[in-house]
Structure 1
Amino acid sequence: MSRRSVDYGLALLVAFVGGAVLVFWPHASDTPPPDTPAEQEAPAEEAEPSEEEAEPPVEPPEEPEPEGPVVDASGDPVSFMPPGDLTPGSGSGQTEQINYAPQMRFPLEAGQAYANSQVYGHGGYLGPGGGQCDAANYAYAWRDNFCETRSYSAPLCPSGTGHQGQDIRPATCQDAVHWAVAADDGVITSVGSYSVRLMSETGVRYTYLHLERDSLQVEPGDTVNKGERLGFVSNEFGGTPTTIHLHFEIKMALETPHGLQNVNVPPYVALVDSYQQLLSEGESDHG
């Protein structure tokens, strides 16, 4: 073989090896440079809490148990007829009533009483017969008798005249046993043979009729506190006995169709509210 043939063969071999190197050597961009940091590992997913570690489910709030009926001192549930709903045949009541004395205390000491008509109830001269101690007179529901047919001036009554207050029987049909008490802080302005008048610090006048004269604890000019005893409920009526009950009035300056007047206002709503408050708070907490 000639030298020229050998050189030519070597040249071909070198060219072949060089081409192979270019084909099989990895591309520069496929290899990270020596100082390039390795890719960071992805953070591991947080494990789901186990049943023991999971927070307990939030329990829905318990529904408050419905309150039972309001009961009086004897445990009987109380109830009330609507304002202005008078005994049938006894007149037209004032149905649009508000609480004219929201601060007042119930005017009887004990938390058991029955508001209803004396004249049109059992034992009354226009009643259905029977005696004043009939059980029907000492049972709920209460009944309004402001505006009941009378000849007394009553500008807030539909007829302009009528009964000027509310009749309230005490817990039992017993004379001179049950205390009437001050409905508000104030001054005693007058004491009659069977009446007491109390003027509050805000100018509201409360009238109590049919109190036993010998039991009265106050005199004109006395300052009294809410809940203070005034006298026993009786049947006194200026020498003419009536039924055993408290006649209770509220009088104040009020704007009427005829201008500003000092008038008797319906006491029924104030009595209902103060009675329920007395029963819910307890006698000792209510003055």
Structure 2
Amino acid sequence: MSTREIERALAAAVAAAGIAAMVWWPADSVAPAEPEPDEIALEEPAPGDAVEPEPEEEPADEAEPEPLTEPEPDEVPPAEPLLDDAGIAFSWMPAGDLAEDSGTGQLLQINYAPGMRFPIEAGQAYANSQVYGYGGYLGPAGGQCNAANYAYSWRDNFCETRGYGTPMCPTGHGHQGQDIRPASCNDGVHQALASADGTITSIGSYSVRLMSDDGVRYTYLHLDKPSLQVAVGDHVTRGQPIGFVSNEFGDTATTIHLHFEIKMAVETGGGIQNTSVPPYLALVDSYQRLLEGEED
């Protein structure tokens, strides 16, 4: 073989070896080109790559809860006592609480005439029984002017034992009204007033009846008849003078007091009846308003 032929054979062998090296050399053994600094970016992790978790923040120390305590109740100041015109504190017994051994009271706590005017002018009066009180024929020994009759507390006497048919009382009989003594044991000096706007419908030997414009009848017993300030048919306004508290009782005298009644149509357990109803709580309410200065 000539020298030229030998050189050609060697050149072909070198070329073949270079091609084989390109085919079988691992691609990742070639160092990648460094990216330009501005082009560097965070790469998303490939699926399945383990990612180191972010460290959890340590929770802040929680303050110890304050122990639960019951709230202090608001103090309710005691109600100021209502003082009458003499500066004496007013007090009253519950409805139906009668004088001892005087009967069985009606315990229903109902004001049958809210808003009525107290039937005596001055803010000093004493609701109690004239029959079972001092000077009464069933009361303790002593005269009607005994100081015990002119002192608080007030006491209901609508259902005390009497002979009048009264379906609003547990026994079916009672007094039908409330006795009220005026400020002092003086006849004919303490003014009785109209409890509501209405018309004077009758005047008897010792009674005056006032029918209110809304159909409630108020009866005043034992007013001094010669000095009455109204006549049958007169229309009166609430608070208008009617007469003076006395001991008038026809041919015989009674104690100095006002017997006051309220009559209206009510359910009595046997149907609707026009009957006397307990006036006690209406009197308590109207007296309190009088002492509070709500009346002229």
Q: How many residues align?
A: 229
**Equivalent position SS for 2:220:** strand
The one of 221, 224, 248 equivalent to 1:236 is: 248
Letter in structure 2 aligned against 1:135? A
1:245-274 CA distances to partner (integer Å, 9 max, x unpaired)? Answer: 000000001122221110100000000000
Q: Which aligned pairs between 1:35-74 and structure 2 lie closer than 5 A?
A: 66-74=78-86
The one of 278, 281, 295 equivalent to 1:266 is: 278
Does residue 128 in structure 1 map to residue 140 in structure 2? yes
Call closer, same or farther: CA 1:67–1:230 in 2, change over 3 Å: same
Does residue 77 in structure 1 map to residue 89 in structure 2? yes
Give the root-mean-square deviation of aligned CA atoms. 1.8
Letter in structure 2 aligned against 1:190? S
Under a length normalisation based on structure 1, what TM-score does the superposition of the two structures give? 0.76
* Corresponding residue number in structure 2 for 1:35: none
The one of 277, 280, 287 equivalent to 2:292 is: 280
* Corresponding residue number in structure 2 for 1:94: 106
**Equivalent position SS for 1:269:** helix
* Corresponding residue number in structure 2 for 1:194: 206
Question: Which stretch of the first structure deviates more once superposed, 127-136 or 62-71?
Answer: 62-71
Q: Give the whole-Å Cα distance in 2 for the aligned partners of 1:65 and 1:162.
A: 40
**Equivalent position SS for 2:276:** strand
Q: Give the whole-Å Cα distance in 2 for the aligned partners of 1:269 and 1:65.
A: 25
| Alpha carbons 1:253, 1:263 under 8 Å: kept | yes
Under a length normalisation based on structure 2, what TM-score does the superposition of the two structures give? 0.74
Letter in structure 2 aligned against 1:100? Y
Report the alpha carbon displacement of residue 66 of structure 1 after superposing the two structures with TM: 4.7
**Equivalent position SS for 2:105:** coil
Q: Give the whole-Å Cα distance in 2 for the aligned partners of 1:252 and 1:125.
A: 30
* Corresponding residue number in structure 1 for 2:231: 219
Letter in structure 2 aligned against 1:81? M
The one of 77, 100, 104 equivalent to 2:116 is: 104
Letter in structure 1 aligned against 2:97? D
Report the alpha carbon displacement of residue 103 of structure 1 after superposing the two structures with TM: 2.0
**Equivalent position SS for 2:110:** coil
Does residue 179 in structure 1 map to residue 182 in structure 2? no
Ranges in structure 2 where 5+ consecutive residues have no aligned partner: 1-36, 40-73
Report the alpha carbon displacement of residue 68 of structure 1 after superposing the two structures with TM: 1.3
| Alpha carbons 1:146, 1:166 under 8 Å: kept | yes
1:86-137 CA distances to partner (integer Å, 9 max, x unpaired)? Answer: 0111110101130000021100011100000000000111111111010000
Q: Give the whole-Å Cα distance in 1 for the aligned partners of 2:214 and 2:109.
A: 20
Q: Which aligned pairs between 1:142-157 and structure 2 lie closer than 5 A?
A: 142-157=154-169
Ranges in structure 1 where 5+ consecutive residues have no aligned partner: 1-26, 30-61
Structure of larger gyration radius = 2
1:115-170 CA distances to partner (integer Å, 9 max, x unpaired)? Answer: 00000000111111111010000000000000111111100101101100000000
Q: Give the whole-Å Cα distance in 1 for the aligned partners of 2:218 and 2:107.
A: 21
Letter in structure 1 aligned against 2:86? S
Letter in structure 1 aligned against 2:272? L
* Corresponding residue number in structure 2 for 1:39: none
